[in-house]
Amino acid sequence: MHYKAILFDLDGTLLDTLEDLATAANRALDALGLPAHPVAAYRLFVGDGLRTLAERLLPDKRRSAPLVDALMAAFEREYSRSWNERTAPYAGVPEMLDRLSSDGYRLAVLSNKPDAFTRLCVEQLLPRWTFAPLYGQRPGVPKKPDPAAALAIAAELGLEPAEVLYLGDTATDMHTARAAGMVAVGVLWGFRTADELRAAGARHLLGHPDELQPLLHSPLTPG
């Protein structure tokens, strides 16, 4: 199989956003008089969209729809102020993107992060490379692991899903890739574990971004 495009998750795959996400969320919790969480806990909290993040942050007995909405709004206010305090590309990612671009691969991003924040992060922190399409979570579009957005990206690229390699760091990403008929590749420099990625059906695991290039010429099949 000759792959023609790479579809990336964003948080935990291209950018290390964990500390800024945790800082914004803990400030939002504090503003509402709620307990904060350790930064490491956010490795399991993030990845499934803002509403799910807010639900996971709240104590079980306080998980009402109005409080979830209030926490989401507070998070968006805080994150808009501090989204780039510590966020940066992972080591090796710029070099990986340089190689992919020079070799003619098309690059795209699909995130469960709100679309405006997804675009802001990519445009400000990964400005040297063209990601098209570039989508976060948008109203009216099912979030990952529903494959609809991934399939729409393949269609926009004019490619069959099997021509797209999907890189992500969570089970949600692996389920998305498999449901879309793309090759699911898990990255180990992100937020989740190798065991989680394998259990979710990763066809291959990368320990460092420089391991992607040889994989592009391997005979992996979708799934």
Same domain (yes/no): 11, 23 = no
Q: How many CA atoms lie within 13 A of 67 on its CB side?
A: 15
Domain boundary among 42, 64, 82: 82
24 in any annotated domain: yes
Q: Are 15 and 88 in contact (CB under 8 A)?
A: yes
Same domain (yes/no): 189, 127 = yes
133 in any annotated domain: yes
The pLDDT value given to residue 60: 87
The pLDDT value given to residue 62: 87
Give me the domain span that covers residue 40.
18-82
Tell me, yes or no, if 169 is annotated catalytic: no
222 in any annotated domain: no
pTM attached to this predicted model: 0.95
The pLDDT value given to residue 20: 98
Same domain (yes/no): 100, 58 = no
Same domain (yes/no): 111, 177 = yes
Same domain (yes/no): 60, 109 = no
Same domain (yes/no): 53, 106 = no
CA 64, distance to chain mean position in Å, is 27
Q: Before 145, cis peptide (omega within 30)?
A: yes
- The number of domains in the chain is 2
Q: Are 11 and 106 in contact (CB under 8 A)?
A: no
Same domain (yes/no): 66, 99 = no
The pLDDT value given to residue 217: 77
Positions of the chain with pLDDT under 70: 1, 218-223
209: domain CATH number is 3.40.50.1000
Q: Among the options 9, 20, 169, 173, which is catalytic?
A: 9
Same domain (yes/no): 112, 74 = no
Q: Which DSSP string do the residues of the chain spell out, in sequence order?
A: ----EEEE-SBTTTEE-HHHHHHHHHHHHHHTT-----GGGHHHH-SS-HHHHHHHHS-GGG--HHHHHHHHHHHHHHHHHHTTSS-EEPTTHHHHHHHHHHTT-EEEEEEEEEHHHHHHHHHHHSTTS-EEEEEEE-TTSPPTTSSHHHHHHHHHHT--GGGEEEEESSHHHHHHHHHHTPEEEEETTSSS-HHHHHHTT-SEEESSGGGHHHHTTS-----
142 in any annotated domain: yes
Identity of residue 190? G
